[in-house]
Structure 1
Amino acid sequence: MPLTFNHPTALLLIDNQNGFTHPTHWGPSRSNPNYETNIQSLLTTFRNTLTCPTGSPTHHEIIHIFHSSTTPTSPLHPIYITPTGEKGIDPLPICTPLPTEKQIWKHVNSSFIGTELEEYLREKGIRQLIVAGLTTDHCVSTTVRMAANLGVVDRPVRTGGEEVDKGRIVLVSDATATFAKGGWDAETVHQVSVASLDGEY
């Protein structure tokens, strides 16, 4: 289904950080070799959508979610430095936020736990949430499910009524990726994770 921007939309980019370039910590291999190209293209396209020729607001948002691990051995812990000298918690260069783009830090899988994300989406009146990032089977799937459970893009039809106007949550599967684990190759883990979300939200 093609994306449309008829309603206030947020692009939610999850955990695009240097720590995920660690060669062995997350698994022996990663799915989606085109991930970097695809996520960069998605971000560029969305940024271009935000550029309004008339100068009037577009009512769309770009939100970067970043993970700060509480586990000292994690490449996403604040003390970790990559072999090339970058901080593991810093953004991947292809997804460096612009000053106008919202940044939210989390410490667990869900982007909603212990953060202002739910309040921010409701405050901005977001009706369509486009989700991409790392990793498909952990923070991405947890965030997608919780967004649906919380109804962050839904609105009541009438005040106090039970009828709800459902918003839209879109997982961009070719702009997500994960790693091999438990004897399963990375692409299988990725595809099963995507398939398990189909029809849930």
Structure 2
Amino acid sequence: MKIEKKMSLSFDQPSALVLIDNQTSFNHPKFPSSSRSNPSYEANLTTLLAAFRSARQRLTPGRIHIIHIFHSSLETDSSFHPSAAPKPFDFATPAADGSELVMWKCVNSSFIGTSLESYLRKNGIRQVFFAGLTTDQCVSTTVRMAANLGVVDNFPDGRPVTVNSDGSHPPNVDIDHGRIVLVSDATATFAKGGFDAETVHGVSVASVEGEFAEVFSTQEIAKALV
């Protein structure tokens, strides 16, 4: 899907904030803070989550959804393995009243082994916002799959969009595309492969912008939610 133009934000349709892997496992020495991008990540994600929570209280029930995706590694020596007791960061802890959905994954994509796709479709979500860790891995993978799966797209008769065996398109396919948004300053990553963290982060954002998602800042989204 090619996104031709960045349009202004509105929340007149069901929307979801999906927060990915905001866990204390990233405090492990394997992930030195000195090699992480975006020093404003914590502050921005705190602002983003607060804005969605406030909007959920004000708007019609079912309009705003908040979903937390956490990672549970299959590797026993990982800081994400259950034996290491991975916990959410204090600033990204799910609401105590259970109103925010929590899902666990064991791979990069938040759509594999979870009910995220079916939840978004069942609740008629028309725009989904992604933030969390890390930009180049789980966040990027999830954003790309959201676009490929068409999780916020509406099809008149509910059938998937495919091409015919001869390469032609089925007739009368009228697709109403929803919005997939990456909150670029509410995500972060680490240096790797000889590249500094800000470069890895910047290239990762640029790689999905326009092709898989729109890119907005925390402040742009918070302002639109008021």
TM-score (norm 1): 0.90
The aligned residue for residue 123 of structure 2 is 124
Equivalent residue of 1:62, what SS?
A: strand
Q: Are 1:163 and 2:162 an aligned pair?
A: no
**Alignment partners' CA distance in 2, 1:97 and 1:27:** 24
Q: Which residue of 1 aligns with 2:93?
A: 96
Q: Which residue of 2 aligns with 1:29?
A: 35
Query: Which is further off, 26-35 or 134-143?
Result: 26-35
* Alignment partner of 1:16 is 2:22: yes
1:2 to partner: Cα distance: 4.4
| Cα deviation digits, residues 88-123 of structure 1 (max 9, x gap) | x21111011011100010000000011111000001
State the Cα distance separating 1:26 from its structure 2 match: 6.8
Alignment CA distance shift 1:159-1:136 (3 Å):
closer
Give the letter aligned to residue 152 of structure 2. V
- Give 1:90's aligned amino acid: K
Q: Does 1:50 align with 2:49?
A: no
Displacement, 1:3?
A: 3.0
**What code does the residue aligned with 1:140 have?**
V
State how far apart, in whole Å, the 2-side matches of 1:159 and 1:116 are: 19
Conserved 8 A contact 1:27-1:180: no
Equivalent of 1:60 in 64, 69, 76: 64
Q: Aligned pair count?
A: 192
- Say whether the 8 Å CA contact 2:31–2:190 is kept in structure 1: no
% identical aligned pairs:
59
1:25 Cα deviation after fit? 4.1
Amino acid at match of 2:69: I
In structure 1, distance between residues paired with 2:33 and 2:99: 34
Cα pair distance change 1:33/1:27, threshold 3 Å: closer
Equivalent positions of 1:178-189 (< 5 A) are 178-189=189-200
1:63–1:101 Cα contact (<8 Å) kept: yes
Q: 1:190 aligns with which of 201, 211, 219?
A: 201
1:30 and 1:3 map into 2 onto residues whose CA distance is 29
Cα distance in 1 for residues equivalent to 2:61 and 2:116: 21
Which residue identity lines up with residue 191 of structure 1 in the other structure? G
- C-alpha change, 1:12 and 1:159, in structure 2 (3 Å) is closer
Structure 2 length as normaliser, TM-score?
0.81
* Runs of 4+, deviation exceeding 3 Å: 25-28, 157-161
Unpaired stretches in structure 2, ≥5 consecutive residues: 1-6, 160-171, 213-226
Kindly indicate whether residue 146 of structure 2 is the aligned counterpart of residue 135 of structure 1.
no
Determine the C-alpha separation between the residues in 2 that align with 1:26 and 1:153.
36
